Amino acid sequence: MAGRSRKMSIVATGKIGKQAIANKAAQEKKIKLARDCLAPPTWLDDEAQAEFKRVVDEAGKIDILDNLDLAVLAIYSNAYSKYIAMTCYINEHGVTGERETAYGIYEVVSPYVLAQEKFVKQIMMCSTKLALATTDRLKLIVPTAGEEKPENKFLRFVK
């Protein structure tokens, strides 16, 4: 869908009217889901399950995850676990390996490095969707009543 992404009704700054703001708020309330099924899937390994639980606990403090985020969070946790495994292997064996061809033995980049890069991409994509980075969460911040714009002192001359 083209155009700008939709803002929450509390964050919207355009002149859309009180009724439109109330309608938006009602729609947002309808899409908020429960968090009661956020348990790590059994197919995740121990490290991935620990990461899953850590993210759910931390995100619960600001209530940004719900039941529909389960699949993305499981993919994130799995990629995180595999990334750690690849990193441990690379630390132990190095970033290069040897490849034998008909012309001799060549030093090549380890396939573990390539796999590690793929897991990093998965982690980044999922963390953006889940708002795990501070920059992603900044888009969700709702202004408080104390942050309202000051009244324009010249408006009295317009009336």
The per-residue pLDDT for 73 is 95
Indicate if 21 and 52 belong to the same structural domain: no
Rounded distance between C-alpha atoms, residue 81 and residue 1, angstroms: 34
Rounded distance between C-alpha atoms, residue 159 and residue 143, angstroms: 29
End-to-end CA distance of the chain: 42
Indicate if 28 and 60 belong to the same structural domain: no
Rounded distance between C-alpha atoms, residue 82 and residue 115, angstroms: 9
User: Tokens for 47?
Assistant: 């490290």
The 10s digit of each residue's pLDDT in 97-132 is 888 989 999 999 999 999 999 999 999 999 999 888
Mean pLDDT across 10-23 = 67
Inside any domain, residue 21: yes
Inside any domain, residue 158: no
Indicate if 105 and 81 belong to the same structural domain: yes
Give the number of domains in the chain.
2
* Higher per-residue confidence, 87 vs 31: 87
Residue carrying the six token digits 């990461």: 51
* Higher per-residue confidence, 84 vs 3: 84
The answer to whether the CB of 108 falls within 8 A of the CB of 100 is: no
Q: Which conformational region is residue 92 in: left (phi greater than 0), alpha (psi within -120 to 50 degrees), or beta?
A: alpha
3-state secondary structure of 63: coil
pTM of the full structure = 0.70
> How far apart, in Å, are the Cα atoms of 2 and each of 11, 13, 116, 118?
21, 20, 33, 29
- Which of the four pLDDT bands, split at 50, 70 and 90, describes residue 144? very low
Indicate if 22 and 41 belong to the same structural domain: no
